[in-house]
Amino acid sequence: MQKPVVYLISDSLGETAEKVIKAALLQFINGQEYELIRTPYVEDKSRIRQVLSDAKKDQAIVGYTLVDPELRQFVMREAVEMQLEAIDIIGPMLEAMERLFQKKPRMKPGLGHQLDEAYFRRVEAIEFAVKYDDGRDPRGIEQADIVLVGVSRTSKTPLSQYLALKSFKVANVPIVPEVEPPKELFETDPAKCYGLKISPDKLNDIRKERLKALGLKEHANYAAPKRIHEEIDYFETVVDRIGCPVIDVSYKAVEETANIILQLQMTTR
């Protein structure tokens, strides 16, 4: 079977189209079996015609996000003429909202990428997550919206960054038996702290892979079952002392864990 090709046409960056197309593609094929060709900042019909012509040669599917109804209709007509499968990703939503709100949309591409207050809040949150990553400075615990607590390799850093993209200031604290956690951890609001629990077997697998990636022997103490059990037991005593929620991340993606935390955040507000 020929490798599927998908063309994305957008009057902005094309991120919306890419996310929707990828989500749909994953229901049929994995991420290595297709090619995405994104064409951003499209403003004229000649450029659209060229992209559609290329898509025709590649026997591709076309997804497009264009706020201008004239350009959307043009894509639709051209695609029909060329016998191309083209999907209008944003058009039906715009038209439904126009009927609901009884007003015309702004017809301004890229509004989601304007440098507004939300953008700067997100940047600030990302900088905060970097500054207070891995317990570097315990002063960040009190300032944080969310504090993650866990042993090494429980995805504290990627989870911090993911939540930062949602504009939450996140600090994370590693739990090591030989090191007393910072006193700030026991003085802050336990409702904003989250323990990241993991099964010993899963942690053992993860740490072995980590050692391999570093070119070290997988039998090092870092991945030894006895050491792992000691760390997890110590983690349990710490989170019990804090009195915070605990999430089992053993078989969860970062996004799944983040969604659980965000839901818990909403219930405690």
- Burial class (CB within 10 angstroms; exposed 0-12, middle 13-18, buried 19+) of 265: middle
220, amino acid identity: A
The annotation status of 157 as a binding-site residue, yes or no, is: yes
DSSP 11: S
The annotation status of 10 as a binding-site residue, yes or no, is: no
| Structure token digits, residue 193 | 């702290």
The alpha carbon dihedral of 247, 118, 36, 85 has a sign of positive
DSSP 63: E
Alpha-carbon gap, residue 110 to 98, rounded angstroms: 18
Alpha-carbon gap, residue 199 to 125, rounded angstroms: 30
The annotation status of 150 as a binding-site residue, yes or no, is: yes
The 8 Å CB, 24+ separation contacts for 263-267 are 264/194, 265/145, 265/146, 265/168, 265/192
Residue carrying structure tokens 């990627």: 158
The annotation status of 166 as a binding-site residue, yes or no, is: no
**Contact at 8 Å (CB) between 199 and 176?**
no
The annotation status of 151 as a binding-site residue, yes or no, is: yes
The annotation status of 46 as a binding-site residue, yes or no, is: no
Alpha-carbon gap, residue 25 to 6, rounded angstroms: 10
DSSP 251: T
Alpha-carbon gap, residue 188 to 132, rounded angstroms: 15
The annotation status of 156 as a binding-site residue, yes or no, is: yes
The annotation status of 123 as a binding-site residue, yes or no, is: no
List all residues 6 or more positions away from 52 whose beta carbon is below 8 Å from its beta carbon: 7, 62, 75, 78, 79, 82, 84, 86
Annotated binding site: 150-157
Annotated binding site for ADP: 150-157
